[in-house]
């Protein structure tokens, strides 16, 4: 860890190793993770316990855990400064999650929209793990008393639940143990939508590969995906208000803005009056330029599984050291001997 002074607080975040890492993950999460490690002590976790809430083939899961680690590092997470590890290596996550299963209320979990989306029509067939997934997420964060959690917008509800759990635990046990964690939802990339349907978020689990730009797509593939992305017949408006009611157009402008660290307004001002065929060419250049170094670095890292495994082992050891006193405090508070 660096010796430079850090702003007080601790950052925790994670992503599931359940499929292709994509542009939404990068813009909504990884890019911000890399930034925050300059100011905060940070833990970045590969949440492999969350991943198995839906079926994962064991061999493929192994490869995806390493791929996730490669994606974090290639996006700028520095294992020398931040703690990078996979969740299942630190038993405290599961231990605290059980305690939170006993704190959270059924009514709270019944309101979680991600469960409803993922379980689909056949709720009876969903795993119990999928249902209590948000309690494990609260445990991830609170095991380290993390104060800030950088995520995409889809995780807001889960972070509200995390605050509810922290508050209820503190008040049930008349203890001041857990902080009320702040979500950090930054910039124009907080909600990247599918390239095929502007009403759905870009997602690992979308059956159509054309719906997302994967971090390991090559230049030809991503150019074809952007060329075929849905849009409308109108040109770019003079400012972002002209994107209202045009979800696909708004999404492409938002991706450009997020990658260039601009606002949607300034992108509109630059391309005002141009058609989307033209704009898509400019967007392709920007996506290709920003992703190429990440794609290359991911490919390089994935050829070194031993290096990645070493980083995860080292990260898990450091995480355990931070988790131990919190878990001990919680167990004492609950009344365990
Ligand atoms: P997941 O892929 O669901 O494990 O998500 C990992 C991180 O990426 C979380 O912080 C999500 O909020 C973020 N994320 C996932 N999909 C998107 C998206 N389409 N747009 C923005 N952020 C996203
Ligand atoms: N539920 C998050 C997602 O799907 C992943 C996650 C698990 C997470 N535990 C976390 C994110 C803790 C932030 C903090 O994106």
8 A C-beta contact, residue 139 and residue 297:
no
Q: Which of 12, 42, 47 gets mutated to test ligand 2 (max ligand atoms within 8 A of its CB)?
A: 47
2 in a structural domain: no
Q: Tell me, what's the pLDDT at 279?
A: 97
Q: Tell me: pLDDT of 2 over 50.
A: no
**Whether residue 126 is found in the same domain as residue 239:** no
Helices (H), the chain: 23-25, 31-36, 48-51, 58-74, 92-101, 106-110, 113-119, 128-142, 156-172, 219-228, 247-260, 264-271, 276-302, 305-334
8 A C-beta contact, residue 48 and residue 86:
yes
**Based on the number of CB atoms within 10 Å of its own CB, is 196 exposed (0-12), middle (13-18) or buried (19 or more)?**
middle
**Whether residue 96 is found in the same domain as residue 160:** yes
User: 6 catalytic, yes or no?
Assistant: no
Site residues for ligand 2, CB cut-off 6 Å:
12-16, 47, 50, 137, 140-141, 149, 151, 155, 158
Instruction: For residue 79, give the 3-state DSSP assignment.
Output: coil
Mean pLDDT of 238-265: 97
Annotated catalytic residue within 118, 168, 318, 331: 118
281 in a structural domain: yes
Q: 81-140, pLDDT tens digit by residue? A: 999 999 999 999 999 999 999 999 999 999 999 999 999 888 999 999 999 999 999 999
- 219-228 helix and 276-302 helix, angle to the nearest 10 degrees: 150
Our count of domains for the chain comes to 2
252-282 exposure pattern, b = at least 16 Cβ within 10 A, e = fewer: bbbbbbbbeebbbbebbeebeeeebeebbee
**Whether residue 23 is found in the same domain as residue 130:** yes
**Whether residue 21 is found in the same domain as residue 157:** yes
8 A C-beta contact, residue 334 and residue 172:
no
Q: Tell me, what's the pLDDT at 169?
A: 98
**Whether residue 136 is found in the same domain as residue 237:** no
Q: What is the domain extent for residue 273? A: 216-300
153: CB partners within 8 A, 6+ apart: 28, 185, 190, 191
Candidates 111, 177, 176, 104; CA nearest to 137 is 104
pLDDT band at 187 (very low <50, low <70, confident <90, very high): confident
By alpha-carbon position, which residue is closest to atom 8 of ligand 1?
25
Q: What's the whole-model pTM score?
A: 0.96
pLDDT band at 260 (very low <50, low <70, confident <90, very high): very high
Q: 23-65, pLDDT tens digit by residue? A: 999 999 999 999 999 999 999 999 999 999 999 999 999 999 9
User: 201 catalytic, yes or no?
Assistant: yes
Q: 195-231, pLDDT tens digit by residue? A: 999 999 999 989 999 999 999 999 999 999 999 999 9
User: 280 catalytic, yes or no?
Assistant: no
Annotated catalytic residue within 6, 89, 204, 331: 204
**Whether residue 158 is found in the same domain as residue 227:** no
- Taking the CA atoms of 181, 182, 185 and 187 in sequence, report the sign of the dihedral they define: negative
Candidates 18, 77, 68, 19; CA nearest to 305 is 68
200 in a structural domain: no
**Whether residue 25 is found in the same domain as residue 149:** yes
């Amino acid at each position: 860890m660096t010796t430079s002074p850090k702003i007080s607080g601790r950052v925790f975040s994670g992503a599931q190793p359940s499929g292709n890492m994509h542009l939404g993950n990068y813009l909504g999460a990884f890019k911000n993770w890399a930034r925050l490690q300059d100011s905060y002590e940070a833990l970045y976790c590969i949440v492999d316990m969350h991943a198995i809430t839906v079926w994962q083939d064991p061999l493929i899961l192994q490869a995806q855990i390493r791929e996730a680690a490669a994606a974090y590092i290639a996006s700028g997470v520095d294992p020398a400064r931040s703690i990078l590890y996979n969740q299942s290596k630190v038993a405290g996550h599961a231990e605290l999650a059980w305690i939170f299963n006993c704190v959270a209320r059924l009514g709270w979990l019944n309101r979680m929209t991600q469960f409803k989306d993922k379980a689909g029509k056949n709720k009876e067939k969903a795993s119990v793990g999928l249902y209590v997934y948000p309690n494990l997420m609260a445990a991830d964060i609170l095991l380290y008393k993390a104060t800030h959690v950088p995520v995409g917008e889809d995780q807001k509800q889960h972070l509200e639940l995390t605050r509810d759990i922290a508050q209820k635990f503190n008040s049930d046990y008349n203890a001041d143990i857990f902080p009320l964690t702040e979500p950090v939802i930054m910039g124009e990339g907080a909600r990247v939508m599918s390239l095929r349907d502007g009403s759905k978020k870009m997602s690992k689990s979308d059956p159509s590969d054309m719906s997302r730009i994967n971090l390991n797509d090559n230049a030809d593939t991503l150019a074809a995906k952007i060329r075929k992305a849905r849009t409308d017949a109108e040109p770019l408006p003079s400012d972002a208000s002209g994107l209202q009611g045009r979800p696909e157009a708004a999404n492409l402008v938002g991706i450009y803005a997020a990658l260039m660290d601009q606002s949607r307004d300034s992108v509109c001002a630059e391309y005002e009056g141009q058609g989307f065929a033209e704009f898509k060419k400019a967007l392709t250049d920007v996506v290709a330029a920003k992703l190429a170094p990440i794609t290359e670095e991911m490919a390089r890292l994935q050829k070194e599984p031993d290096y990645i495994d070493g980083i995860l082992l080292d990260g898990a050891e450091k995480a355990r050291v931070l988790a131990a006193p919190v878990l001990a405090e919680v167990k004492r508070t609950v009344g365990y001997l």
